[in-house]
A and B are shown apart, each in its own frame.
Chain A
Amino acid sequence: MQDVESASAPLLSDAIDLGYLDPDQARFSQTPGGFLALNYKGADYPRVSVRRSLPLAMPNEYLSLADPEGKEIAILRDLSRLDADQRGLVEAELARRYYCPNVVDVKSVKDQLGYVYFELTVQGAGAPSARMCAVKDVNKNIRMLSDDDVIMFDVDGNRYRIPSLKALNAKSRKRLEPYLF
């Protein structure tokens, strides 16, 4: 499929413009109300949302910038193309939207009547904190993204990530083991 090049059929890339953001013409800022604003090609967008196309595999690439109505302004191909301060603003917005603390310790796991209750220590933006969560249908809601990388969804819709199982302490790993596939 990749190498089909015929004279008559135009390539998809010619027909559809992805609308990549030109970083030189974009200026992000933070509004007094606490939102991300964007000035792009002379137009002002007082409130911009940033959504990941591939939240798990490529969290910093193909970021869709949209206005509050969900209309896309542009796609930011790669976060690293922004200057450090600009990138910080977008990263903060991403952190708010895709809040997903890392699990640093699994204190207890209790399997009870179809729910698995976890007592966790998680690390978000600040200091580590204790969390309790309940997970239902573990083989659906605890997913191995790779051999080493785990994401969990609790009944409320909260997400927890274990970026590296190997880096987790042995006891925690052992407690999690029965629920990993």
Chain B
Amino acid sequence: MARFTRYCPEYMEDAFREQGVDAREILFAIHTDMDANGAHADAYAAVTADALLILTGEEAVTRMEGARRIVARFNARALETIPLKDIKELTNDRLVATGQLCAVNEDGSVRALLLYSVGFLGDAEKLAQTVKNIKAGSPPLQDVSVDADRFCPKCGHRYPESGHARCPRCMDKRSITLRLMGFFKLYRRKAFVVLAVMILGSAASIAVPQIGSRMLFDEVLTPGGSYFGMALAFVALIFLVRAVNVGLNMLYGYVLARTVPWIIYDLKMRIFEAMQRLSVGFYTSKRTGALMNRVNRDANNIYWFFVDGFPYLIVNGLTFAGVLTLMCVMSVKLSIVVMIAVPASVAFFRILWGFFKRFHHKNFVYGAQLNSMLSDSINGQRVIKAFAREEAEAKRFAEVGGKQAGVDVRMSNAAFTAFPLIYLFMFLGQVVVTMLGGVMVVNGELTLGSFLTFIAYLQMLYGPLEFMSWVSNWWARCVDSAQRVFEIIDAKPDVTEPERPAAVDGIRGDIVAKNVRFEYDPATPVLKGLDITVESGKMLGIVGKTGAGKSTLANLIARLYDVNEGEITIDGINVKDWPLAMLRGGIGIVSQDIYLFIGSIADNIRYANPGAGMEDVIRAAKAAAAHEFIMKLPDGYETRVGAGGQDLSGGEKQRLSIARTILQNPRILILDEATAAMDTETEAAIQASLAALSKNRTTIAIAHRLSTLRDADNLAVIEDGKVVETGNHRDLMTKMGAYFKLYKLQMEGLKVINMDAE
């Protein structure tokens, strides 16, 4: 596995040079981490114009300035040189936690070259690609170092995951906070008011003991004091200061409540907009699925920190500083005692807090497990009942519930012993101060009023200190959330609007795919050099087994993903050069997975064309054989569907999605198993309307059942990511190839049924 250091090509060059290789000839090189038996080793694989070089050995690594590591020496063990003319191609096999680079020789034999841990798979793929480019005579990948997207250029550390827009190490807490503060910019004036009010509030709360204790006892109640005997007036003054304090708090709460929700609104809107911009690939990767679930929680984390945490941080900080200053002014001696006793008790508190956090965390995890188990059992009730597993489910639930209860008990036990002890300890500090202060009052070193004020201040110190001892965790959580949010905002979509879009005014409908290669995950190609041609207005039927890459083709034509190699053109223009909105607006896809948005049936049909009139909506529904079932629903076209709405069957939803596409009126129609979820009768009805719809429209129909494709002008059989046969039904039948085999299989299936029926 990789180390988190920046890859440095110089030392690799040196290592090769020592072996007598002219490093300048190296066109591309990678660094991997194992020998052929899986033992740790450093292996460099490099490509020159005519050979593949594999150098194994050990790097001697020394740590230099900060976190950056520099390789001091490479102890080579073996160098192997394989002439490129012997190699037909390099392939990578993904194993479980490793990958294997293999060479397919010109004579067809295969040889294992290198084993590496799976993190290097992407690099090894690039190596294979380079060899392919060289053999084809096209220029190799230019950059010798492949690590640019894996190592942070600023700090030299490896990104925890590739494809990161920014380095989480470099994106330190401060810069994230500054960026979060940026959201406040729009609300500068209000933020200023909040700050001013908070400062005044702190000042008022500090003033209270000064007036309520020191002045009251020393000046008002002590004979000879400046305000001796003015007790009533003083009580009124104390009340006034309190009232001002309360008033300020109200004002502060009011201003804050009007500001922060809008900042969070801004944040959520930005996240949402960023999400709309991202490509489909972003959503299908597992990593981001979890990311999405968190968005709400993250926004809330940030919200609470800024509503609750941040203001109190300022208030508490100011109070702390103010109180401490006043204490020093009143008695330096006592202040020194305070400065020892108070931090000690806070430190003690913090240690115990860390201890509890662990319990809390475990408790939280068990709670989450219980929750998911609960939803599992609610969603799976039918299956649970069908298999009579109620008791087993209850037992499973009880097990985790028991674990959680156990942690709870331990946590409470610990809390009931520890917290009284902490408070006793804290009280001890206070006792010391009281004792010393008392002696000072008796000796006349301190007035009674000052003494009482001092005790009051002492109590005011604990709050801020306690707060500050855990606000850092809170802050860390907020920054953590913010980092994830920024990750989404900063993520770059894989599919982007062309820089210079072709000047076109609409799609005519000629589709050509040339040598298209595509993979969702490294080393697992789905399309392996696929070619198809569809003339404008014609219908191409695509058949093949599941997993042959049929649906992928549809995704690529609509540019939901970009091809890895080869090209797809529409009307002779690469899809990458089409303005995205025009391209996708001109292509209608009816696919297996249907999504209905929350809203009425009519709105869902109108989704691509919100201005369509009711007549058109009904016409589209009729064409999709959906009108009848819609009319059976009590609210007809106003029936609410989507999450929480009317439950529709798979076939019904499918018909709505067909109606939606009909209303979109695209020039290119892609039917991806559009009628697979329907009964034969409905399918026949829809087939008729689809036939009408596809007239004079370029249509690509992907199907499993050959009967669906009887109207196709041309057929293509896809197997293992390639087109193995093309032609019309008659051609393919006489060819007796893959299509013929499929046809026979399906016909035989039907025959068996007929026999049973007789």
Contact = CB atoms under 8 A, between A and B. Distances in A.
Contacts of A47: 110
Contacts of A157: 97, 118-119
Contacts of B484: 114
Interface string B470-486: 00000000011001100
A97 B98 contact: yes
Given A156-B118, A157-B119, A124 B39 contact: yes
Given A33-B112, A99-B96, A115 B36 contact: no
Contact of B160 (A129, A136, A139): A136
A82 interface: no
Contacts of B607: none
Contact of B168 (A112, A125, A181): A112
A35 B110 contact: yes
Nearest to B403: A181
Interface string B215-237: 00000000000000000000000
B259 to A, nearest CB: 27
Contact of A158 (B37, B111, B118, B361): B118
B2 interface: yes
Nearest to B388: A1
A136 B361 CA distance: 16
A115 B168 contact: yes
A23 B677 CA distance: 46
Interface string A124-135: 111101011110
Contact of A126 (B40, B98, B111, B169): B40
Contact of A113 (B100, B365, B480): B480
A55 B97 CA distance: 12
B361 A178 contact: yes
A158 B169 contact: no
Q: Taking each of B3, B36, B117, B160, which has the highest tally of chain A beta carbons within 10 Å of its own beta carbon?
A: B160
Interface in B434-484: 479-480, 483-484
B35 A156 contact: no
B483 A114 contact: yes
Interface in A151-181: 154-159, 177-178, 181
A107 B111 CA distance: 38
A96 B38 contact: yes
B169 A112 contact: yes
Contact of B111 (A33, A129, A156, A181): A33
Contacts of A178: 358, 361
Given A95-B38, A132-B3, A156 B119 contact: yes
Nearest to B487: A114
B551 to A, nearest CB: 20
B97 A124 contact: no
Contacts of A34: 36, 111-112
A98 B96 contact: yes
Interface in A90-116: 92, 95-100, 112-115
Interface residues of A, number: 40
Contacts of A148: none
B40 A129 contact: yes
A137 interface: yes
Given A125-B38, A126-B37, A156-B119, A113 B483 contact: yes
Contacts of B211: none
B1 A133 contact: yes
B37 A100 contact: no
B41 interface: yes
Interface in B27-46: 34-41
Contacts of A125: 37-39
Nearest to B5: A132
A47 to B, nearest CB: 7
Chain A: interface secondary structure? Answer: loop
A133 B161 CA distance: 11
Contacts of A97: 95-96, 98
Nearest to B481: A114
B148 to A, nearest CB: 17
Interface string B282-310: 00000100100000000000000000000
B4 interface: yes
B362 interface: yes
Contacts of B365: 139, 181
Contacts of A155: 160-161
Nearest to A33: B111
Given A34-B36, A178-B358, A126 B160 contact: no
Contacts of A117: 4, 160
Contact of B100 (A96, A126, A131): A96
Nearest to A135: B160
B115 interface: yes
Contacts of B171: 113
B105 to A, nearest CB: 8
A86 B442 CA distance: 94
B109 interface: yes
A126 B39 contact: yes
A95 B37 contact: yes
B46 to A, nearest CB: 20
A54 to B, nearest CB: 13
B287 to A, nearest CB: 8
Contacts of A181: 362, 365-366
Contact of B97 (A112, A129, A159): A159
Q: Taking each of A33, A92, A126, A156, which has the highest tally of chain B beta carbons within 10 Å of its own beta carbon?
A: A156
Contacts of B362: 181
A126 B57 CA distance: 13
A130 B215 CA distance: 67
Given A115-B168, A158-B119, A134 B110 contact: no
Contact of B480 (A92, A114, A158): A114
Interface in B168-182: 168-169, 171
B41 A136 contact: no
Contacts of B366: 181
Contact of A33 (B2, B110, B160, B358): B110
B479 A55 contact: no
Contacts of B112: 33-35
Contact of A92 (B2, B37, B110, B160): B37
B356 to A, nearest CB: 12
A158 to B, nearest CB: 5
Contacts of B100: 96
Contact of B117 (A95, A136, A158): A158
A159 B38 CA distance: 13
A157 B523 CA distance: 14
A153 B100 CA distance: 19
A127 B40 CA distance: 7
B96 A115 contact: no
Nearest to B39: A126
A99 B95 CA distance: 9
B2 A156 contact: yes
B111 A99 contact: no
A151 to B, nearest CB: 11
Interface string A1-35: 00000000000000000000000000000001111
A98 B41 CA distance: 17
Contacts of B161: 134, 136, 155-156
B304 to A, nearest CB: 18
B117 A156 contact: yes
B38 A99 contact: yes
18 contacts: A33-B112, A34-B111, A96-B37, A96-B95, A99-B38, A99-B117, A100-B97, A113-B169, A113-B483, A114-B484, A122-B40, A131-B3, A139-B368, A154-B119, A156-B117, A156-B161, A157-B97, A159-B97
Interface of A: 32-35, 47, 55, 92, 95-100, 112-115, 117, 122, 124-127, 129, 131-134, 136-137, 139, 154-159, 177-178, 181
Given A113-B171, A181-B366, 6 more contacts: A125-B38, A126-B40, A134-B4, A136-B160, A155-B161, A156-B1
